[in-house]
Amino acid sequence: MDADGIHGQLDTLILATLKRGEAHGYAIIAALRETSGEQLDLPSGTVYPALRRLERSGYVEGKWTQAGGRRRRVYAITAEGLIALAKGRADWLALREVMASVLGA
Amino acid sequence: MDADGIHGQLDTLILATLKRGEAHGYAIIAALRETSGEQLDLPSGTVYPALRRLERSGYVEGKWTQAGGRRRRVYAITAEGLIALAKGRADWLALREVMASVLGA
DNA sequence: CCTTGATATGTAGCGAGACTACATATAGCC
DNA sequence: GGCTATATGTAGTCTCGCTACATATCAAGG
């Protein structure tokens, strides 16, 4: 699955990934590829703007780090981000139920 | 849930409804409200443009009918629409699996 | 008769989300 | 030197679903 199938769940996926520990954008992409069983392969043009959006919203905090000459922007989930994640999860479960009842369980 | 939680599943929901039998827009809204257990209440400004889009794509066919002075545009799903519905359902199942593995089953 | 609410369809304008394609830069390996 | 992986980001675009509005018929109640 490429990213055009995630339909509004991108923020929830990123926040869920960051809940396991802080990470930089490239690592988040790799982590999602792994945890999804190689099914998700998000383009940078999708993830980096999403991280900036999440930071603007106060759900994540980013800081610049250095790793052998390579600059990295490492993001950590905030308290507000945890609340947003809980809401995202609840919304997802609600959608799942609606889809199940309409598509047939 | 209002419609801002359906995230790209609108077409699939409408096609699934029409698979049970042809219907006009207002009836589709009512049917989705019912089958979802009153959880979905889609505004007309969401459903009618979606139906026109689906018709343009060849997934549904509309015809004008008369019901006691009230004009109705009744839509039926096409063969292509059934294929699109199958694809939409498969995409949904794939997303569901990805979400399950990332959020934790 | 008139008003209100349900039935019924639609448009206009807007904002958000995710895309593709591109641009930039470093590190490691051959 | 050149290729690949690592790493971040921008520009421009397209689709989707929203709110708010416009229109029209019909049924029920006052």
CATH number at residue B32: 1.10.10.10
**Looking at the complex, does the CB of residue A39 fall below 8 Å from at least one CB of chain B?**
yes
Instruction: Give the distance from CA A9 to its chain's centroid.
Output: 8
CB B85 within 8 A of CB B16: yes
Q: Using DSSP, state whether B80 is helix, strand or coil.
A: helix
User: Would you say the C-beta of A26 is within 7 Å of strand C?
Assistant: no
Average pLDDT of A52-56?
95
**E strand or H helix at A101:** helix A79-103
Chain D footprint bases within 7 A of protein beta carbons: 6-12, 16-22, 25-27
For residue B43, report the phi and psi dihedrals to the nearest 5 degrees. -75, 155
**Looking at the complex, does the CB of residue A91 fall below 8 Å from at least one CB of chain B?**
yes
* Percent of chain A predicted with pLDDT > 90: 86
B70 burial via Cβ count (<10 Å: 0-12, 13-18, 19+): exposed
Which chain B residues in 23-42 sit with Cβ < 7 A of strand C? 24-27
CA distance B38 to A5: 26
User: Would you say the C-beta of B56 is within 7 Å of strand C?
Assistant: no
Give the structural domain span for B41. Answer: 3-103
**Looking at the complex, does the CB of residue A20 fall below 8 Å from at least one CB of chain B?**
no
* Neighbour-count burial for B17-56, b at 16+ CB within 10 Å, e otherwise: bbeeebbbbeebbebbeebbeebbebeeeebbebbeebbe
B101 and A9 within 8 Å at the Cβ level: the answer is no
Average pLDDT, chain A: 93
Q: Of all protein residues, which has its CA closest to the C1' atom of D24?
A: B70
Structure tokens at A62: 């980013």
Beta carbons within 10 angstroms of residue A59's beta carbon: 24
Tens of pLDDT, residue by residue over B5-63, are 688 899 999 999 999 999 999 999 999 999 999 999 999 999 999 999 999 999 999 99
Q: Which residues of chain A are within 8 Å of residue B39 when distances are taken between CB atoms?
A: 94, 97-98
If one counts the domains in chain B, the total is 1
Tens of pLDDT, residue by residue over A55-91, are 999 999 999 999 888 899 999 999 999 999 999 999 9
How high is the pLDDT of residue B6? 84
CA distance B13 to A95: 11
pLDDT at B1 over 60: no
